[in-house]
């Protein structure tokens, strides 16, 4: 008789089959590898996704299926905030699995040759990130690694003693045409068949007072949410993982859509004469960055500075919305793009404009039995005589891997130098990201001239009341927002009161 429920998670680690049961399903991958599997090459430093010491590679069956691949595609993730329950039907490759047939990998050889390690604590993480970069670049048809590639793929790895120059040098010397991808080295029809046989079986695991549900069908997920409205939805766990590790948050019951295959889809749709993307809630930020780049180059550029590759390979767009942070990077853009959030419950489906979704700090317009099932994003209208344009800004303490101090998204159409439409959203200045309706009305029919932007920036002094916190004082945030508007209009920025121009 066919199995109807699975009470274990199925993973492979460096080619070895592993069934995870009981309390282990609630462990983070780094702890599981180090303490339960003796794979101590993976290191832990920050335990919050910031340093990359714990980087490993994973190939996810569900994602490969949705990309139409006949093999697993391996990507780097932070194992310290990746929980085993998020890795069902995944193949994990750790630093112990990187050498090939007992010989050091070309990346490891290059590290030795270039003296790219001192204490060595960060080294396994760097090696895994570089192996992931080589896999990704080869998959995209690249023949070499550029400095830009290295800086981007290594933005999630920190070295405290070697200095990054020898590490970048070690990566730059690689001849990627001679390196076999993990997807080739670890390709195994038995593993894929094993995943395929287990993928249609819902997972239901109980341990003590903790419970995990991984349904394979959305209707089942909706029934569970109706029955247990307090159950915690979990996606990539890049927000929840930090809460679990740092705030000792222990969710009693977890529900994830990770085994609901349709949730990985990005669909290009037409309705009447409008074209839009429909993005499932399991689509990662890295995939969004790649897929929508042509239609929304500005958004893709912004996502380039979202966290690191390791985080973006787990984090989802749905998770960023539901986390409802006032400095969530995607929210200002989605607001001015008038994106729709698709919601479902056993009572039916509905969609809501993102601008109506955030009620207060971390308070959503979402019923207890509802689940986010997708994001619908209308593509910009085809350029006629006036073009739909976006300008997106993120200001943070440093360029890479940092949470924003403020964010700004503007969308406008302009004809003969006069604004026809203008939308503006600001993040980091209120308990939620906020639209600036007064400025939007003011800008209608105004010319693109310095005085227009100066007047609009002055209006901000009364329309926002930011708070002071560790990322910046209220005064600094106001000045940043004003200067972003001036920057957009190519006007010289205001000077900070205590001297020095604000960049």
Q: Which residues pair with 376 in a beta bridge?
A: 278, 340
In angstroms, what is the minimal distance from the CB of 29 to ligand FAD? 14
We find the least distance from the C-beta atom of residue 274 to ligand FAD, in angstroms, to be: 25
Comparing C-alpha atoms, which of 229, 375, 357, 240 is closest to residue 296?
A: 375
DSSP H or E stretch at residue 448: none
Pick what 403 binds: ligand FES, ligand FAD, none; C-beta below 5 to 8 Å, kind-dependent.
ligand FAD
- What is the DSSP secondary structure assignment for residue 261, as one 8-state letter? G
Is 341 a binding residue for ligand FAD by CB under 6 A? The answer is no
By the rule CB under 6 A, 406 interacts with ligand FAD: no
Residues 340-359 that bind ligand FES (CB under 6 A): none
Segment interacting with ligand FAD, rule: CB under 6 A, options 184-192, 307-315, 430-438, 477-485 = 307-315
Q: Rounded to an integer, what distance in angstroms lies between the CA atom of residue 44 and that of residue 47?
A: 6
Instruction: Give me the least distance between CB of 175 and ligand FAD, in Å please.
Output: 32
Q: Parallel, antiparallel, or unpaired: how do β-strands 9-13 and 210-214 relate?
A: unpaired
Neighbour-count burial of 255, counting CB atoms closer than 10 A to its CB (0-12 exposed, 13-18 middle, 19+ buried) = buried
Binds ligand FES by CB under 6 A, chosen from 10, 29, 80, 154: 80
Q: Is the separation of the CB atoms in 55 and 79 below 8 Å?
A: yes
Cα–Cα distance, 47 to 29 (Å, whole number): 11
Check binding of 118 to ligand FES (CB under 6 A).
yes
Our finding on whether 372 is near ligand FES (CB under 6 A) is no
Please report, as residue ranges, which positions from 149 to 168 form the binding site for ligand FES (by CB under 6 A).
159-162
Shortest Å distance, C-beta 482 to ligand FAD:
23
> How far, in Å, CA of 191 to CA of 12, rounded?
8
Among 52, 132, 236, 466, binds ligand FAD (CB under 6 A): 236
Residue least distant from ligand FAD (Cβ)? 319
Output 45 or 69, the one with its CB closest to ligand FES.
Answer: 45
DSSP state of 196: H
- Coil vs helix vs strand at 485: helix
Site pattern 345..384 for ligand FAD (x: CB under 6 A): --------------------------xx------------
Position 39 contacts ligand FES (CB under 6 A): no
> Pick from 290, 266, 293: which is nearest to 279 by CA?
266
Using the minimum distance from each CB to ligand FAD, give the nearer residue, 318 or 472: 318
Our finding on whether 45 is near ligand FES (CB under 6 A) is yes
CB 201 within 8 A of CB 214: no
Which DSSP state fits 10?
A: E
Residue 320 contact among ligand FAD, ligand FES, none, beta carbon within 5 to 8 Å by kind: ligand FAD
Decide if residue 49 touches ligand FES (CB under 6 A).
yes
Q: Can residue 484 be called a binding residue for ligand FES (CB under 6 A)?
A: no
| Structure tokens that stand for 314 in this block | 């787990």
- Kindly report the backbone phi and psi dihedral angles of residue 9, in degrees, each rounded to the nearest multiple of 5, phi listed first: -100, 145
Helix axes 106-113, 164-172, angle to 10 degrees: 130
Cβ-contact 234, 189 below 8 angstroms: no
Task: Return residues touching ligand FAD (CB under 6 A).
Answer: 48-50, 232-240, 242, 257, 281, 285, 306-307, 311, 314-316, 318-320, 322-323, 328-329, 371-372, 403
Q: Using CB under 6 A, list all residues that contact ligand FES.
A: 44-47, 49-54, 78, 80, 117-123, 159-162
């Amino acid at each position: 008789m066919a199995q109807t429920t699975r009470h274990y998670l199925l993973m492979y680690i460096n080619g070895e089959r592993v069934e995870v049961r009981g309390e282990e399903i609630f462990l983070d991958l780094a702890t599981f590898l180090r303490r339960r599997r003796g794979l101590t090459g993976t290191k832990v430093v920050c335990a919050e996704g910031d340093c990359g010491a714990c980087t490993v590679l994973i190939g996810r069956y569900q994602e490969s299926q949705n990309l139409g691949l006949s093999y697993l595609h391996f990507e780097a993730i932070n194992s310290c905030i990746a929980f085993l329950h998020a890795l069902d039907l995944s193949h994990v490759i750790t630093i112990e699995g990187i050498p090939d047939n007992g010989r050091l990998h070309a990346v490891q050889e290059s590290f030795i040759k270039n003296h790219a390690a001192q204490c060595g604590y960060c080294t396994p993480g760097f090696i895994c990130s570089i192996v992931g970069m080589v896999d990704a670049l080869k998959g995209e048809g690249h023949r070499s690694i550029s400095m830009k590639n290295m800086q981007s793929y290594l933005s999630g790895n920190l070295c405290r003693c070697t200095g990054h120059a020898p590490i970048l040098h070690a990566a730059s010397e690689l001849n990627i045409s001679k390196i076999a991808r993990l997807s080739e080295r670890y390709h195994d029809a038995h593993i894929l068949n094993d995943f395929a046989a287990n993928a249609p079986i819902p997972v239901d695991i109980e341990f003590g007072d903790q419970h995990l549900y991984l349904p394979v069908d959305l209707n089942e997920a909706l029934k569970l949410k109706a029955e247990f409205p307090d159950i915690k939805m979990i996606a990539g766990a890049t927000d929840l993982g930090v809460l679990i590790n740092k705030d000792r948050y222990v969710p009693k019951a977890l529900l994830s859509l990770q085994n609901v295959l349709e949730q990985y889809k990005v669909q290009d749709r037409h309705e009447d004469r409008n074209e839009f993307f429909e993005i499932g809630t399991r689509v990662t930020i890295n995939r969004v960055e790649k897929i929508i780049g042509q239609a929304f180059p500005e958004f893709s550029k912004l996502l380039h500075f979202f966290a690191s590759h390791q985080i973006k390979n787990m984090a989802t767009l749905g998770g960023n919305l539901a986390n409802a942070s006032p400095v969530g990077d995607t929210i200002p853009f989605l607001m001015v793009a008038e994106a729709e959030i698709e919601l479902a419950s056993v009572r039916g489906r509905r969609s809501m404009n993102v601008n109506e979704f955030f009620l207060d700090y971390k308070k959503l317009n979402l019923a207890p039995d509802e689940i986010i099932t997708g994001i619908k994003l209308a593509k910009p209208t085809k350029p006629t005589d006036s073009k739909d344009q976006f300008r997106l800004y993120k200001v943070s303490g440093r360029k890479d891997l940092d949470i924003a101090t403020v964010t700004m998204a503007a969308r406008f159409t302009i004809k003969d130098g006069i604004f026809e439409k203008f939308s503006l959203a600001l993040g980091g200045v209120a308990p939620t990201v906020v639209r600036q309706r007064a400025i939007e009305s003011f800008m209608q029919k105004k010319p693109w001239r310095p005085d227009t932007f100066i007047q609009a920036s002055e209006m901000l002094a009364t329309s926002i009341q930011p708070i002071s916190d560790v990322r910046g004082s209220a005064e600094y945030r106001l000045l940043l927002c004003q200067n972003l508007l001036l920057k957009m209009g190519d006007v010289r920025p205001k000077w900070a009161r205590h001297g020095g121009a604000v960049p």
